[in-house]
Amino acid sequence: MTALTAVRGMNDILPEATPRWRDLESVVARLLAARGYQEIRLPLVERTALFQHSIGEVTDIVEKEMYTFTDRGGDSLSLRPEGTAGCVRAMIENKLLAQEGAAHRVWYAGPMFRHERPQKGRYRQFHQIGVEAFGMPGPDVDAEQIVLSARLWETLGISAVRLQINSLGTPASRLAYRERLVVYFSRYERDLDEDSQRRLHTNPLRILDSKNPDLAELIAAAPALPDSLDGASRAHFAELCALLEAAGVAYTHNPRLVRGLDYYTHTVFEWITDRLGAQDAVCSGGRYDGLVARLGGRETPAVGFALGMERVVALLEDAQIASPQLVPDCYLVWAGEGLAAPALELAEQLRNSSGLRVIQHCGGGSFKAQLKRADRSGARFALILGEQEWATGSVQVKPLRADQPQSTVPLTTLPAWLAQQDIGSSR
Ligand code: HAM
């Protein structure tokens, strides 16, 4: 049989890459914990209706990109294309928002699935870290999340990102804007492409997102969203801008930023980069005040964002930021009659008492062959245990990364000897 390959657009993350992923996850987890965000773990599969009612029926995601199937019980289910819908469902279902005044900060991480055309930075299985705050209506928490994302870039050493923000206003001002757009684009209906003609009556805001260069001029001359905002929406946005300025977070106001999901109100934002080709959004989100009630919960304001982990990892690689390495400290080479149990015990003892990373050689072979593996493992020292060493209660310690002589070290003083070499101290 010819070897099977992975599904197109679904990537393996190989051992050489996973330390970087783990490091990214732990940096984000630390920043979130410091701000009171708690982790929530959610199913990968939800009812299809959940995504239709939240992301919106007339969005690219729901119309064309979902992995939807009927399960054996006859239910229509979908692999989650994003995390917000499932998170809101879980918050409502588990009654976390049932009490008046409830406020929660949560985050999640994991794979999302969209049947998009794969290209650099765009995959069919990709990973997000998502952050959501419930029960807080003001721009203070919008600012908290944007400042948190800015802090993340700073912590990671990523500088090739820029922040764009916009306000979609209240549902009422969004509706007023929608009507103005319909009037405007209807005048040019014949000039629109097929997608935009269809959207004209279903979701005209999405025409502004069109990547068709033939429409660029028409879109540039369309009525601007800020003119349709009511007083409260303007005040919310102005306060957010003031808070970002006070926090020293640079942004541009992009009045055409509308986002591809229908649930947003007021603030929307996107961190974009010009380092990843067409896939320029690295981290995006916004406020979604109406969604909890729309999905059957109590009226609850909410705001959140998600970052695309593949894109952040690509930016780290692009900036040549060193990836942490998970190399062992010692590789235990051993051979000899009756030494299997002592070797096992020695490796365990070093791991337990000194917290060292110790690979114990498995699979037999000559000392020479074992030492070759020790070298390939990246370990700093080979510990050599043969019959003679065992008889005298010692090991040979062979430095593998430096041109230093081999030493004989008694087993009783080995932990102290290794500690003196300053290994294992960097974690
Ligand atoms: P989104 O803009 O659809 O928003 O996705 C968030 C991020 O996920 C994007 O900025 C991008 O970095 C990454 N991403 C999206 N699609 C792909 C793909 N096909 N391949 C690789 N990366 C991708 C949401 O998903 C919202 N749930 C964000 C949110 C949370 N809004 C409020 N709370």
Structure-derived torsion over alpha carbons of residues 44, 48, 54, 60, reported in degrees to the nearest 10: 90
Q: Whose CA is nearest to atom 17 of ligand 1?
A: 122
Pocket test for ligand 1, best of 11, 37, 82, 287 (most atoms within 8 A of CB): 82
Ranges of CATH 3.40.50.800 domains, the chain: 330-420
Q: What are the tens digits of pLDDT across the range 62-117?
A: 999 999 999 999 999 999 999 999 999 999 999 999 999 999 999 999 999 999 99
Q: Whose CA is nearest to atom 2 of ligand 1?
A: 284
pLDDT value of position 424: 58
Ranges of residues in the chain with a pLDDT under 70 are: 424-427
Q: What's the 284 CA to ligand 1 centre distance in angstroms?
A: 6
Does the structural domain 18-170+230-318 have CATH classification 3.30.930.10?
A: yes
Q: Whose CA is nearest to atom 8 of ligand 1?
A: 308
Q: Whose CA is nearest to atom 32 of ligand 1?
A: 304
Look at phi and psi of residue 207 and say left if phi exceeds 0, alpha if psi is from -120 to 50, else beta. alpha
Count the Cβ atoms, other than its own, within 10 Å of residue 154.
10
| β-strands 330-334, 358-360 pairing | parallel
Q: Which residues line ligand 1 at a C-beta cut-off of 6 Å?
A: 82-84, 114, 116, 122-123, 126, 128, 130, 132, 260-261, 281-286, 288, 304-308, 310-311
Kindly give the number of the ligand 1 atom that is closest to the alpha carbon of 130. Answer: 30
Q: What's the CATH class of domain 330-420? A: alpha beta
Could you tell me which residues are beta bridge partners of residue 287?
265, 303
Q: What's the 94 CA to ligand 1 centre distance in angstroms?
A: 25
Q: What's the 397 CA to ligand 1 centre distance in angstroms?
A: 50
Look at phi and psi of residue 363 and say left if phi exceeds 0, alpha if psi is from -120 to 50, else beta. left
Q: What are the tens digits of pLDDT across the range 135-151?
A: 999 999 999 999 999 99
Q: What's the 86 CA to ligand 1 centre distance in angstroms?
A: 14
Kindly give the number of the ligand 1 atom that is closest to the alpha carbon of 132. Answer: 33
Q: Burial level of 208, CB count in 10 A (0-12/13-18/19+)? A: buried
pLDDT value of position 354: 87
Measured CA to CA, the distance from residue 277 to residue 262 in angstroms comes to: 25
pLDDT value of position 425: 47
pLDDT value of position 260: 81
Kindly give the number of the ligand 1 atom that is closest to the alpha carbon of 281. Answer: 10
Ranges of CATH 3.30.930.10 domains, the chain: 18-170+230-318
Q: What's the 308 CA to ligand 1 centre distance in angstroms?
A: 6
Pocket test for ligand 1, best of 284, 287, 292 (most atoms within 8 A of CB): 284
